[in-house]
Structures are given as structure tokens and as C-alpha cells.
Amino acid sequence: MNLPLIPAPATTTTHDGTFVVTDGLGVVVQSPELAGLAERFVADVQVDAGIALFPGSAGITVLIDSDGIDGLAPAAGLRADGNASADERYGLEITSEGVRVWGPTAEAVHRGLTSLRQLISTAAADGTAVLPAARVIDGPRFAWRGLSLDVVRAFHGPDEVRRVIDMLALYKLNVLHLHLTDDQGWRVEVPSRPLLTEVGAAGAIGDRPGGYYTRAELSELVQYAADRYVTVVPEIDMPGHTSAVFKAYPELGPDEIRSVDLGNGDSLQLNTLDPGRDETWAFVEDVLDAVIPQFPQSAYVHIGGDETWGMSDEDHVAFVEKAAALVRARGKKVVGWQEIARADLDSADVVQYWLDLDVDSMVQNPDLPTPPEDLLPILVEGLRKAKYDAPKALEQGTKLIVSPVTWLYFDRPHADASSDPDQEEARKRLGLEFYGAASIEHGVSWDPVDGLPGIDSADQIAGVEAAIWCESITSPEDLELMLLPRLPGAAEKAWSHQTATDWPEYSARLAQQSPAWRNRTWTWLRSTEVDWR
């Protein structure tokens, strides 16, 4: 019998018998450092399943132990918090006498309690959950498992970001990559550059409201995530995607601002920071000095480096190399979009691989929408360069975060129909047609190693990260509709050691997640391809 867990665990053994979880059942911790985890688990089960557990009395036992986990390989890749000694492998055992959750670290125990949460919520009915007797030994395939969240094109306030963090935590994803700056806005405070938030944060795409996170709000978000073993990684996108910077500080921009109208209320900016100007680097240092302390758990700073339209290759390389050096000088490691591989990198840097598109086949595909005439040659040139980025990164000894458009860009339209008529209307306007629609099944029909050209081994991969860009997203409901039920599929690919996912079996596990989503008031696509509970 397959347990209704996402991601699928490494090993599962089921037995005859059951254990009943009901109101008043106790949670006992045998190590004091696990008390906070147990309290959060109790609170989560109350929300997910409507069952009121009680800390301190017998029923579910939680402890630090390494029983049985040594036979499971440690995670490949890199962690966003830089903790080389971290271990997320855990054990979960259910018998007719009770439940035991263990692991060698508090984080491992948290992952085990997350699996138990899922089992309780999927089995809950009328205040009771009957769990099958089973033993699970599990751990992640990759150490970096995340979501890149665009908070620029549509600003998502702290409450909505917390809801996203809760989604990540429920599916054992451990990185929230916040895309904090772009052409349409600036979302993080830099006290020495107040106009970044006074002017640069004022808007978003079209007439959407802007906004930014105060230092207090970011501190609370970063801690909220850390309490759930999610590391928040900041991205300051540069030297391109800087129109909000030039709006706030025109003296940093070029003499002539150039753009291409995209026909959707947005425009593509062809302007970049100039690496040959001293004021550029004074600005970059001010930003790094202000932003880095706001993300103390992150070992990395994401410097962007992508889509530097109109910039010479030489200037792009010069900018990336100096920006990376400034990050390293501040004790942080460098991560950037795949275009940074065109510069000389340190082997400790990380390259985020996203452009797996074949430009020649795209140009020849009559079914894809045609970009504006002025944009087409720019896109073609950029995509043709991109095919060399991943090989260059690997040649330099850097690892890749796998974020391919084809599989992990959640701004693709939903191909699955919804059983909800209102969602069918939303489905017509959500997502970028340029990428083509993708089904929920499509999202789990690949493998991070076997499915991508140029990658031969898990040793080349730092981790797996989905991305949600918000050009078409206008509300929290839109955001959640595009994230769910795709996010569990990304988690399946990032955590599970199964390289092939059987759709009927996965769909059955996915269907049983919906009671917890409903109880948390999350919006999700009611795909007609899934037999939701």
C-alpha cells in the first residue's frame, strides 16, 4: 500500500493494524530542543485536520535518534543556509500502540512530523484519523528545494508570503527565493537610498498597487520561515531589470531610456547599470550592505545577472565579476541566473539554470504566439547564447540549481480544465501564452538528472527550484491558483528518490491533499484530471 505522502518517501513498509488519532491524544518529546516543534505540530494538525492534540501526554513520541537512517544516502547538492552538517533524514513508525517520529537533528524530526501531519489530514473525518501501521525511513534527494517568488510585478504582502511559506513547509521545500527588485518595482528598504522605496516601490505592472517590506516585516517573515526550516534567499536583480532604480535615481541610468512595448501593459526595458561608473558601485555596495543583514539565515545572495538586453558581453562579464566579488567580500556566497556563467566564477558560486528552451524549434512552431516585431531578434539572440551557459558553469566547477522553464515555471497557463466555472474564467487570463500551457501530469513527468541536456549526475546539481512570475497575477487567489497543485509536484521532483513518477499513483496521493488545503482556505486548481477528495 502506498501512503498518501507527497513527496513520496524513500522506503515504506506497511503492516497489519491501525492507530487512531483523535482529540486529546498526546505528543511527548524526549529531547527538550524538540518542544517548540511539537507545539507547532499540534497547532498545524488543528488547522489541517480539525483534531486537537495535547502536548505532554502519551500517544505520539518525538525524539532525537538515528535508528535505521544510515542506509539512506545523504542529500546531494547545497543548502541555502550553508549548513554542511545538516541532516533531514527521519524515521516514522505507526503501530497499534502509538506513533514514533525520530531523526538525528531537530530539522529531521520536523520533516518526520510533516509526514505525520499529511497522514493525519488525509485520513481525518469527524475529529478522528485512522492511520495504517507502517514504518517510513526517508530523506531528501537534493539539499536545495525551493520556490522563486516574484513580488515585484505584483506585490504580495507579508500575510500572503506567510501562506506561501506554509505551502513550502507542508511539502518539505526549504528555500523561498524572494525576487525583490525588477523593472516594475523595488521591495526592500535601503536606508541610505530612501528613494528606492519612496519612488521605486510605488507601482507594479500596469495600474497594480506597489509596496515594499519594512525591515521589521522582513525580519518577521525570515523568522517565520526559519521556524519552519525554510531559508529566505534575497535576490537583487542587476545589472538589468533596473528601471525602478533609474526611476528613483535617474543619475544611475543611461542618457536615453529604451524599451520595447510587449502589448500587455508591460514593456521590456533595454537599460542596465554601467560597470564603468564609480556611482554604480557605490550604489551596489549601499544595497548589499543594507540587504545582507536582513537575511541572516541565508548563506547566499542572488545577484540576478539575467536578460541584460542591450548590454555588451564585455560589460556584462565585468559587472557580474565585480558584483560577485563584492558579495563574497561580505562573507556571502553568490547565486545568479544562468547568464552569470558567461563570466569567470568561483567554484563555490551557484548558477540557476532556467532557459532549457530550443530557440530554433520555437521560431519554427506556428502554434506559439509571435512576440512583437522589435522583441523577436532580441529574444532569439539571448536564447541562442543561453544554450552554452550550463556547460560553461559546469566547466567552472559550479553547481546548478535546476529551474527549467519547461517543467518548473509556474507562470505557464494551466492546461487542465477546472470543475469550477470561475476558475475556468481565470484560467483564460492567467499565465504567459508564449510558454504554452502545461498539465499537472506534465509537471511530474521529468527528472532533474535524466530529463535535462548536459546534466549527467546528481553531483552537478545544487538543488531544484520552481519559479512563479507574476505578469498575469492580480490577486492572492491568482497566485495560489497558479501554485497549487503544481507545488507538490516540484517537491516530488526535488525530494523523492524515485526518478520516474507514475501519474495514476501520484494523482491518487495528490487528490488526498485537498482536505488540508480546504481547511487552510488555500485556492487551488480543481483539475478535472484529479479525483479530489
Q: Which residues have a catalytic role annotated? A: 307
Q: Is 249 helix (H, G, I), strand (E, B) or coil?
A: coil
DSSP type of residue 345:
-
How far apart are the C-alpha atoms of 68 and 98, rounded to whole Å?
A: 19
Using CA atoms, how far apart are residues 473 and 307, in angstroms rounded to an integer? Answer: 21
24: alpha, beta or left? (left if phi > 0; alpha if psi -120 to 50):
left
DSSP 76: B
Question: Which grid coordinates are listed for 15?
Answer: 503492516
CA torsion sign for 304, 306, 308, 309 is negative
Torsion angle, CA of 104/107/110/114, rounded to 10 degrees?
-110
Which letter, b or e, does each residue of 494-519 get, where b requires 16 or more Cβ atoms within 10 Å of its Cβ?
Answer: bbbbbeebeeeebbebbbbbbbbbee
d(CA 121, CA 514): 9
Cell of 112: 518526520
Listed residue (45, 140, 135) closest to 88, CA to CA: 140
